[in-house]
Chain A
Amino acid sequence: MKTNIKVLGPGCPKCKTTYNNVLEAIKQTGIDAEVQKIEDIETMMQYNVLTTPVLMINEVTVVKGRVADINEIKQLLMQ
């Protein structure tokens, strides 16, 4: 099954770093995943977030309010 990854954040530097880290982690692990970047606030609020950036894997929030580094994302993807 394709892994669904969402990065939520209104386009601040931290959100961009998270997004790039996700892309790199996918490249390094070779996992089949689709990545969505959600920048629209109204859509974002449907996920009940308070702090950004938020990283969601298969609709589960795994990281919120901070940048996750590549190794951490790789570990999360492997689970």
Chain B
Amino acid sequence: MFDWLQNFADWLIYTVFAIPANSRLGESLNFFVFDTLKIFILLFIITTIMGIVNAYFPVEKIRNYLSRNKLYGLEYIFASSFGVITPFCSCSSVPLFIGFVKGGIPLGITFTYLITAPLVNEVAIAIFAGAFGFKVTALYVITGIVLGIIGGFTLGKLKLEKHLTPWVQNIIANAHTEEVLEVEHISLKKRFPGILKEALNIVKNVSIYIIIGIGIGGAMHGFLPTGFFEHYINKGQWYAVPLAVIMGVPMYSNAAGVIPVIQVLVAKGIPLGTAIAFMMGVIGLSLPEAMLLKKVMNWKLIAIYFGTIAFFMILSGYLFNIIL
């Protein structure tokens, strides 16, 4: 699918710049050109597609749907899948949380949505696809959805309502399902220029992180020998996966740049399961989000919420290390 791009990178580096193909510099530059272009193309395509999907399934519609329908447990699957298609900014997590519980949506389902929405987002999908190919991306997306379902279900069973701040408990006590939020009705044709602009904006905003990430990755790609990290991190070390998840949490804002670096780490010998666990920590858990959630939860609940997600991330890391 990207052969033409590889040909272009080969031509540019080896013919135009006349850098020898078997040199370290040549390999690094070739990787940089190929990966940057590939990721930017994918990012633009995927954010545009997501923008179109989202025009049909805005979050208001999803909330109304979940609020009105009791689906005997299937709503966990819906909430998690909806989390994939809606864009998510950590600053929206609190209004979303309140909006959901206000509409009588159970806490567990609200958590499911809140877990999947940031974990599987359009930027992560695009960079994953560019860095690891579509098979690993599909694996990541499915794991994210399952993790949201299991995580939300577990949290729902723990009866955590008492750890919410009093004004939120008040809202839950007065929750009613009839309340329907307005949904904008604009034709796709009218909306499309806006969607394209938004997609370009997203690409622009993360481009600097991606370029830095691929730059570091490119340097390591050319200059580190294959299998370099195998001595330090391998499947035998039980603590590698939990450590990877925890180390990922503070890197949230650089998620776009972290994935291209990890791609190279995997190529140089780090187990894929450990790497996926690390990236889940980077993308799915963020400290700014925890600070915002303080408005609706006490510290204990925030710790339980993050702890549960981290636990399942670690579990999937081990699982991938076993099966992959």
Contact = CB atoms under 8 A, between A and B. Distances in A.
Interface of A: 9-12, 14-15, 41-42, 44-45, 48-53, 61, 65-67
Interface stretch (B92-100, B149-157, B300-308): B92-100
B99 A9 contact: no
19 contacts: A9-B91, A10-B91, A10-B295, A12-B288, A41-B95, A41-B296, A45-B102, A49-B95, A49-B99, A50-B63, A50-B92, A50-B95, A50-B96, A50-B181, A51-B92, A52-B91, A52-B95, A65-B87, A65-B92
B59 A42 contact: no
A28 to B, nearest CB: 20
A50 B91 contact: no
Nearest to B201: A67
Interface string B116-134: 0000000000000000000
B198 A50 contact: no
Contacts, number: 56
Contact of B60 (A44, A50, A53): A50
Contact of B95 (A14, A44, A66, A67): A44
A48 B60 CA distance: 10
Interface residues of B, number: 25
Contacts of B95: 10, 41, 44-45, 49-52
Given A48-B181, A50-B181, A66-B198, A41 B91 contact: no
B183 to A, nearest CB: 11
Select the residue from A9, A44, A52, A61 with max chain B CB neighbours within 10 A.
A52
B32 to A, nearest CB: 28
Interface in B169-219: 171, 179, 181-182, 198, 201
A12 B89 contact: yes
A48 B102 CA distance: 10
Nearest to A67: B201
B89 A45 contact: no
Given A41-B94, A42-B167, A48 B87 contact: no
Given A50-B59, A51-B59, A12 B94 contact: no
Interface in B34-72: 59-60, 63
Contacts of B181: 48, 50
A48 B198 CA distance: 24
Contacts of A67: 201
A52 B89 contact: yes
